[in-house]
Structure 1
Amino acid sequence: MRLRQAVVASAAAVLVAGLGAACSEPPPPGASDLVDPGTPAPKPSPTPSLPAGPLSGQPLAQPAVAGRQAIAVPIRATATGTPVGLDVADVVYQEFAESGSLHLSAVYQSRDAAKIGPVTEVRPVDIRSVGVLHPWLGYAGGPTGFVNQLAAADLTGVTPAERGAAFPSGYTSTTALRAAAPKGGTAPAPLFDYATPGTPLGTEGVTPAGKLTITAAGHATQTWSYDQASGQWVGQVGKAKVKAASVIVLTMEYRTLTVRKPSPRSLPSAMVYGKGKAVVVSGPSSARAAWSKPGQKLVCNVTDPAGYQIRPQPGTAWVIYAPTTARVAVT
């Protein structure tokens, strides 16, 4: 009985197999049996890498911005004034000027500022500092000799006398200055090797830092303090609170310049070309360093005691030209 049931079951299996074969075409010669794996799960797209601003080291929301020309604006800062537009600058150069004032050269490339100023005259320190960046300048004229130096350095810009609408009430904006600039300006080359996460400020001579003071004759002591929450160094210029990712103090000689046109006067002027000692604070660290800038068309190199480039945190870099007689202290 069991033998008969097995035979019947076997015959049924053969019949079913035969019916299945009859309902499908035989595979072509050489074909193999493949199983459809179904629709594969989509692979996650890699996060696009945004270019960094050449003067800020920070990722740009709009990649095209990386290739645009820099804008430079000289700003006068007095003890009772309130300069604006400094926090969004990529680089700010500071010269200790006459009557306790500061002459600032603010450079904008990665970000825009809706209001910048008060705009002041051009001075040799502007030419020496920003010349290597090939910017378009917005400035309020200046002594005849200084304006001639600007032209001789192949730097161009616009003044209120040429385009008053771009300087309402003595202030300007990056939008107004870009509208006045000719087409075809070139993007600046990077000034620093910016730090990546975990990169120290320097290979030697790095110490913790929370406060930086610069005391120069004829000027109020300038104090910068590190804010742990924002990772920024906070200072004050006139009545304005300013922030920077890094403060770079370059010690150098100052000379007195005598100008005659349009009015006779004497002005202090930082000798930006040459070399000297430097102090850098960035993040919660400080580093002793040295600086060297042979001429206008060359970048100012800031190196640690081992000769390697200082690597500041990405963001605004505030470069202070301190007279050799100034006292610079970090605690």
Structure 2
Amino acid sequence: MRLRRSVVASAVGVLIVALGAACSDPPPPGATDLVDPGTPAPKPSPTPSLPAGPLSGQPLTQPGVEARQALAVPIRVSESGTATGLDAADLVYQEFAESGSLHLSAVYQSRDAAKIGPVAEIRPVDIRSVGVLRPWLGYDGGPTGFVSQLKAADLSGVTPAQRSSAFPGGNTSTTALRATAPKGGAAPAPLFDYATTGTALATRDVAPASKLTVSASGHRTQTWTYDQAKQQWSGRVGKTSVTAASVVVLTMEYRTLNVRKPSPRSLPSANVYGKGAALVVSGPSSAKAQWSKPGQKLVCNVTDLAGFQVRPQPGTTWIVYAPTTARVAVT
């Protein structure tokens, strides 16, 4: 028995020596070299998720953007005119102005635009629409009374008369406006509770939608159509094609304002304080709703007919102030 154990031990020793020699000798032709993989490379840490823009509901692409102040720019568009920079806005407020033109209040916070314009004068609708957002404004002056209202509302901004370099050719940009803004501006609070996957636009009165029309006296009918492939609503202002994730139509009274300085004239003005009927299209859906805005420093709440907040899709929201005499239809 002892002899057998010795033979086995000798055989194991020979095998170990042979293996050691094999490791030190070059491999025979046709053999495969095995390389020590070493320490495995560390797995990359997951990309930190960024918050959504407060006025768009869309995930941001750069850190810190959620904390920056909003910018607001009034834009005047005639029936034959063009506008730039609107698709980069988080919010666009639309007022039916005189002579078939539109007065727009474009708000930028989550995205930038290299060219915005044509920049228009300040009007009461701008102050009342964007005041709750506490933005820095870029505007082309305005009647004495309107400028006084702007100051009384504790809102600030810059004009071409103050900084002509920020308004080349009657236009501006988010970069130029931010360069003129004082430090310390606060970020705006969200205006809407944006939809997530599977969230309905409203709790009731939701219907399929592919076309929205708004017909106001003295203006061309404005038509919005839903592009299923792009999941966007497309429309036109003047000669400019625009898109939005959602279009919110708020029906309200208009009144006539008589301006004296610097030149006498009359112009229509939407009364954005109060409450009234609303219609919202977002994604492939529409919903009847109602709106309420008690004052400048309060948010305009848009709720469905059951009293719950509507939930538009993330992206640009276009808010149309429709006169009570306008015809609003959705199919």
Same fold (TM over 0.5): yes
Tell me what 1:19 maps to.
Answer: none
Tell me what 1:212 maps to.
Answer: 212
Tell me what 2:34 maps to.
Answer: none
Unaligned 5+ residue runs, structure 1?
Answer: 17-37
Tell me what 1:303 maps to.
Answer: 303
Unaligned 5+ residue runs, structure 2?
Answer: 14-37
| 1:97-116 mapped onto 2 (5 Å cutoff) | 97-116=97-116
In 2, the alpha carbon distance for the partners of 1:95 and 1:248 equals 13
In 2, the alpha carbon distance for the partners of 1:171 and 1:7 equals 97
The total of aligned residue pairs comes to: 306
Task: Judge which range, 39-48 or 117-126, deviates more.
Answer: 39-48
In 2, the alpha carbon distance for the partners of 1:94 and 1:43 equals 50
Cα root mean square deviation, aligned: 1.8
| 1:311-326 mapped onto 2 (5 Å cutoff) | 311-326=311-326
Q: State whether structure 2 residue 273 is matched by structure 1 residue 273.
A: yes
Task: Provide, for residues 136-174 of structure 1, a one-character-per-residue CA deviation record: whole Å limited to 9, x for no partner.
Answer: 101111111110000000000011111111111211111
SS at match of 2:130: helix
SS at match of 2:267: strand
**Which amino acid counterpart does residue 82 of structure 1 have in structure 2?**
T
In 1, the alpha carbon distance for the partners of 2:49 and 2:291 equals 32
Task: Provide, for residues 157-209 of structure 1, a one-character-per-residue CA deviation record: whole Å limited to 9, x for no partner.
Answer: 01111111111121111111111111111111111111112211111111110
Cα drift, residue 45 of structure 1: 3.0
In 2, the alpha carbon distance for the partners of 1:175 and 1:49 equals 25
In 1, the alpha carbon distance for the partners of 2:166 and 2:45 equals 44
Cα 1:282–1:260 shift into 2, 3 Å:
same
Tell me what 1:236 maps to.
Answer: 236
Q: State whether structure 2 residue 262 is matched by structure 1 residue 262.
A: yes
Tell me what 1:64 maps to.
Answer: 64
Tell me what 1:226 maps to.
Answer: 226
Cα drift, residue 41 of structure 1: 7.8
Task: Provide, for residues 80-117 of structure 1, a one-character-per-residue CA deviation record: whole Å limited to 9, x for no partner.
Answer: 10011111111000001111111100001111111111
**Which amino acid counterpart does residue 188 of structure 1 have in structure 2?**
P
Cα drift, residue 9 of structure 1: 6.0
Tell me what 2:200 maps to.
Answer: 200
Q: State whether structure 2 residue 164 is matched by structure 1 residue 164.
A: yes
Tell me what 2:17 maps to.
Answer: none
TM-score (norm 2): 0.88
Percent of counterpart pairs with the same letter? Answer: 77
**Which amino acid counterpart does residue 243 of structure 1 have in structure 2?**
T
SS at match of 2:268: strand
Cα 1:304–1:263 shift into 2, 3 Å:
same
SS at match of 2:149: helix
TM-score (norm 1): 0.88
Task: Provide, for residues 276-296 of structure 1, a one-character-per-residue CA deviation record: whole Å limited to 9, x for no partner.
Answer: 111011111111111111111
SS at match of 1:66: helix
Cα drift, residue 8 of structure 1: 4.8
Task: Provide, for residues 24-69 of structure 1, a one-character-per-residue CA deviation record: whole Å limited to 9, x for no partner.
Answer: xxxxxxxxxxxxxx96785563342111111111111111111111
Cα 1:327–1:181 shift into 2, 3 Å:
same
Cα 1:46–1:281 shift into 2, 3 Å:
same
